[in-house]
Amino acid sequence: MVSTHPAEVQNFGSKYLPQIKNNIEISPNQELLPLTAKINNQDYLEIGGCDVQNLVEQFGSPLYILDETTLRAACRQYRDSFKRYYQGKSQVLYASKAWSCLAVCAIAHQEGLGIDVVSGGELHTALTAGVSPTKIYFHGNNKSREELNLAIEAHATIVVDNWHELKTLVEMGSPTQPIRIMLRLTPGIECHTHEYIRTGHLDSKFGFDPNQLDEVFAFVSQQDCLNCIGVHAHIGSQIFERQPHRDLASVMVQWLTQATSHGLNITELNVGGGLGVKYIESDDPPSIEEWVKPICEVIQNACAELNLPLPKLLSEPGRSLVATSCITAYTVGSSKEIPGIRNYIAVDGGMSDNPRPITYQSVYRAVIANKMSAPCTETVTVAGKHCESGDIVIKNAQLPKTESGDILVVMATGAYNCSMASNYNRLPRPAAVLVADGEANVILRRETYQDLLRQDCLPERLKNS
């Protein structure tokens, strides 16, 4: 089904470019494209001073293109906003589950951030990237003994999620070298986000039940092998509302007094993350500064009212740091027209490099990188190449006339795309490049067919049969 959109004929691609308004610093989570995005004199999209079509010619597609400037800007805005609005100490942690790789962890570390990890693999990645163990916090609702031991040996902080883990750590610990822990508590705060990414409501697999707090605090206070330095909570992801985070900050200060009554010296509060990002034009998330400021104010006011010293304040953004720092470039292949129903164009990737549309019904926007000013004349559905009818990247995308060989760019793909990528249908996972100042460096090599077989084992009796 082909349609024309006259209002979008002029400067189709440029409407997505970041715009500085009233000299106010751009918050990356409020933009669809990375901060360095521009259209060059060939009418091609550039990111980080690199022509996207040239990048695809050099590195192949699908291709994750990560803009270093945008990622660093987001890190600095979080770091500096907490320093500006919080009178005590603060520490921003990058929630690396959004995209855990050496380069991203190293950039976050260079900008003064710590790293939040949720597995032994993420912990190993952060350590290898050079992150200090004192700035690594290990989450998860079912950590294995091997993972716990790795964290203990590295001297990372373990965020304890449940009774099983707490008692396991007591068995593993020693009074001569207490294990540094925080307690994850469920605040019982609902917010409007996808069912699968709400983690603060009572019916959640994460955290101790709030009705058990006195029992948990009393137990921990009696364990010489544990050094409980803080409490943690997280209410979900892709959140635009501000009030739930204010409510969370207030509840957590109340937990401080509760812990103190049991003799625990709680010095750190981790308010989690969850700030949303712009995936489509109608999305209107708060800026990073607008998210940080009220949290700091609520905690400071509550502590003053209760005559409590200010705790060290931690937060753990992930998506809002890296999502809009990255785009994914695909090459357009086949097309199919179903008269009166739908037009399809197919790209050389799909659900194996971006499982969010099929998993969360997530919606994205796209441009044609080699036709940035072409008029938008078609409504098409962008299909992936997998043998799966649900492998749809974008439904009803409004694009210029698109042909085989064009470079289609999907915006805001830095969070939970590469990190959730798979080898479905035995597709090798894409490469990723880091771009800055006109230079592109590979940070993830493209997998090969041989990589797909690396872990396969063929018993002797099946050979040459």
Interior angle at CA 400, CA 405 and CA 367, nearest 5? 75
Q: How many residues does the chain have?
A: 465
Say whether pLDDT at 157 is over 50: yes
Class of domain 6-65+323-452: mainly beta
pLDDT computed for residue 248 by the predictor: 80
Q: What is the Cα–Cα distance from 391 to 409, expressed in whole angstroms?
A: 17
- Quickly state the pLDDT bin for 342 (edges 50, 70, 90): very high
Q: Which residues contact 134 (CB under 8 A, 6 or more apart)?
A: 155, 157
Q: Coil, helix or strand for 374?
A: coil
Q: How many CA atoms lie within 13 A of 323 on its CB side?
A: 26
**Which DSSP symbol is given to 419?**
T
How many Å apart are CA 92 and CA 79, to the nearest integer?
A: 6
Question: Percent of the chain scored above 90 by pLDDT?
Answer: 80
Residue 235 confidence (pLDDT)? 82
Query: What is the sign, positive or negative, of the torsion defined by CA atoms of 451, 452, 455, 456?
Result: negative
User: Which pLDDT belongs to residue 254?
Assistant: 86
User: Largest Cα–Cα distance in the chain?
Assistant: 78
Helix (H) or strand (E) holding 128: helix 120-128
pLDDT of residue 325: 98
Using an 8 Å Cβ cutoff, are 393 and 381 in contact?
Answer: no
Distance of CA 199 to the CA centre of its chain: 15
pLDDT score recorded for residue 201:
44
For β-strands 179-184 and 157-160, DSSP reports them as parallel
Q: Is the sign of the CA dihedral 361, 363, 369, 373 positive or negative? A: positive
Per-residue pLDDT tens digits for 226-239: 999 999 998 877 88
Split at pLDDT 50, 70, 90, the class of 22 is low
Q: pLDDT at residue 345 above 70?
A: yes
* H/E run at residue 183: strand 179-184
Determine the average pLDDT of the residues in 258-270: 92
pLDDT of residue 464: 79
Q: In sequence order, what DSSP letters do the residues of 77-101 get, joined into one string?
A: HHHHHHHHH-SS-EEEEEEGGGS--
Reduced DSSP (H G I as helix, E B as strand, rest coil) percent helix, strand, coil of the chain, to 5:
35, 25, 45
Closest CA to 214 of 260, 145, 164: 260
24 by DSSP, 3-state: which?
strand
55-72 mean pLDDT? 98
CATH number of 139-317: 3.20.20.10
Residues of the chain with CATH 3.20.20.10: 139-317
Sequence ranges of the chain with CATH classification 2.40.37.10: 6-65+323-452
pLDDT average, residue stretch 320-349: 96
Question: DSSP letters of 247-282?
Answer: HHHHHHHHHHHHHHTTT----EEE----B---SSTT
- Nearest CA among 100, 158, 80 for reference residue 415: 100
Catalytic residue check, 326: no
Give phi and psi for 213, each to the nearest 5: -60, -45
Q: What is the pTM of this model?
A: 0.92
pLDDT over threshold 90, residue 203: no
Distance CA 400, CA 380 (A): 10
Measured CA to CA, the distance from residue 39 to residue 218 in angstroms comes to: 61
- The mean pLDDT value for 159-182 works out to 95
Work out the average pLDDT over 58-75: 98
In this structure, the number of other CB atoms found within 10 A of the CB of residue 80 comes to: 16
pLDDT at 246: 79
Q: Which of 228, 303, 326, 387 is catalytic?
A: 387
**Would you call 34 helix, strand, or coil by DSSP?**
coil
